[in-house]
Amino acid sequence: MEFLTWLRTQWDRAGAVGLALLGLVALLLGWLGASDSPHLAVQIPYFISGGLTGIFLVGSAAALWLSADMRDEWRELRRLRVLLEEERAERVQERSGSNGLGDAGERELTVGRTR
């Protein structure tokens, strides 16, 4: 059950593992097929279907795993941005309540500018 939950939440990483395994199988089958024949004309289809397709699948797996990592990073950054925005809104509200500066006072506090 836990494995199914993991599959559902981490489908991209599970897909990456599956694609990588498929790629390795393709490489192995291509090698087995090509090694059975001494003729180049017979070996080339195995090179394409096994070798190049294997590289294609392993590359796809790497890209899928990387995109899963990037999506996680994106989520974290989005969470941070939401928290910072909320805190900033609170600060503006506090300042407008305490000294009556409001938005104009907050705008003076721009990053990179000395007051």
Torsion angle of alpha carbons 81, 83, 85, 91, nearest 10°? -150
The CB-of-13 to other proteins minimum distance in angstroms stands at 14
3-state SS class at 54: helix
> In terms of residues, how long is the chain?
115
The CB-of-104 to other proteins minimum distance in angstroms stands at 15
**Do residues 17 and 60 lie in contact, with contact meaning Cβ atoms separated by under 8 Å?**
no
Residues lying near other proteins in the complex (CB under 8 A):
39-41, 44-45, 47-49, 52-53, 55-56, 59-60, 63, 66-67, 70-71, 73-75, 77-88, 91, 109-112, 115
CA 24 to chain centre: 22
Is the CB of 25 or the CB of 71 nearer to other proteins? 71
The CB-of-70 to other proteins minimum distance in angstroms stands at 5
The CB-of-40 to other proteins minimum distance in angstroms stands at 4
**Do residues 109 and 91 lie in contact, with contact meaning Cβ atoms separated by under 8 Å?**
no
